[in-house]
Amino acid sequence: MKYVPPIGKTDDAGYVDGNPTLGIEGDVVPAAALEHPMREIIQVITDAGITPVEGNLMQLSEAIRKLNAGIMDMAFISGSANDGSDVDLAVQKIGGLSLARPATISGVFGKVGIEPTGTAIQLDVRRNGVSVFTVLPHIVAGTKEIVDGTLNQDQINCAVNDVLEVFITQVGSIIRGQRLTFTIKANAI
């Protein structure tokens, strides 16, 4: 949303209240200055799945909480030594965790600092020993960004105490890759 100044004033001008006693004329408020914020607020409310209701002045606050409350990303790293130096990636489990609350996995995100060459890096997330993917996420040889895999819809809804483990299942055949950062994107349910 862009700031809408009083009619006839510069882009960064503030509004002036009128005071007839002192001879101060108030600014004319353009319709966009009222309409745009209302439409943007209503969009946030409806994006949260809430139907706007007249008289309820807590809807925006509720919508913001609802839209942000469920974010539950989980991050992992590999290909860096304890002293911060780079090390080659290896086919291995790089981490795991037991969930303290139910969640739905929505994808993955990440990259490497040193890209693989020869073959792609492949990654997997397993829920209680079963892959959450039908097609594994990977980093194409010669690139740094993870290409998200295809989620197995039967495996993305996680319960309390489910165990999620992250595996590197393949590394580059010439240069293995280094400095992997990997995030499981999820929403608490």
Smallest CA-to-CA distance from 33 within 10, 8, 3 is with 3
Q: Which helix (H) or strand (E) holds 38?
A: helix 31-47
6-52: pLDDT as tens digits: 999 988 899 999 999 999 999 999 999 999 999 999 999 999 899 99
What is the three-class DSSP state of 130?
A: strand
125 vs 102, more confident: 125
> What percentage of residues in the chain have a pLDDT greater than 70?
99
Domain boundary assignment for the chain = 20-69, 74-188
- Does 182 score more than 90 pLDDT? yes
Q: At residue 65, what is the residue type?
A: R
> Stretch 78-93: mean pLDDT, rounded?
93
Q: CB-based contacts of 114: which residues, under 8 Å, 6+ apart?
A: 79, 86, 175, 177, 178, 179
Residue 118 gets which letter from DSSP? S
Rounded to 5°, the CA angle 105-107-109 comes to 130
Domain range 74-188, CATH class: mainly beta
What pLDDT was estimated at residue 11?
87
Distance of alpha carbon 84 from the chain centroid: 26
What pLDDT was estimated at residue 159?
96
What pLDDT was estimated at residue 118?
98
What pLDDT was estimated at residue 188?
84
Site of tokens 């290409």? 147
Mean pLDDT of the chain: 93
Q: Which helix (H) or strand (E) holds 67?
A: helix 59-69
> Stretch 117-142: mean pLDDT, rounded?
98
Distance of alpha carbon 123 from the chain centroid: 19
Q: How far apart are CA 115 and CA 133, in angstroms?
A: 23
- Does 71 score more than 90 pLDDT? no
What pLDDT was estimated at residue 66?
79
What pLDDT was estimated at residue 77?
93
Report yes or no: 105 and 148 within 8 Å, Cβ to Cβ.
no
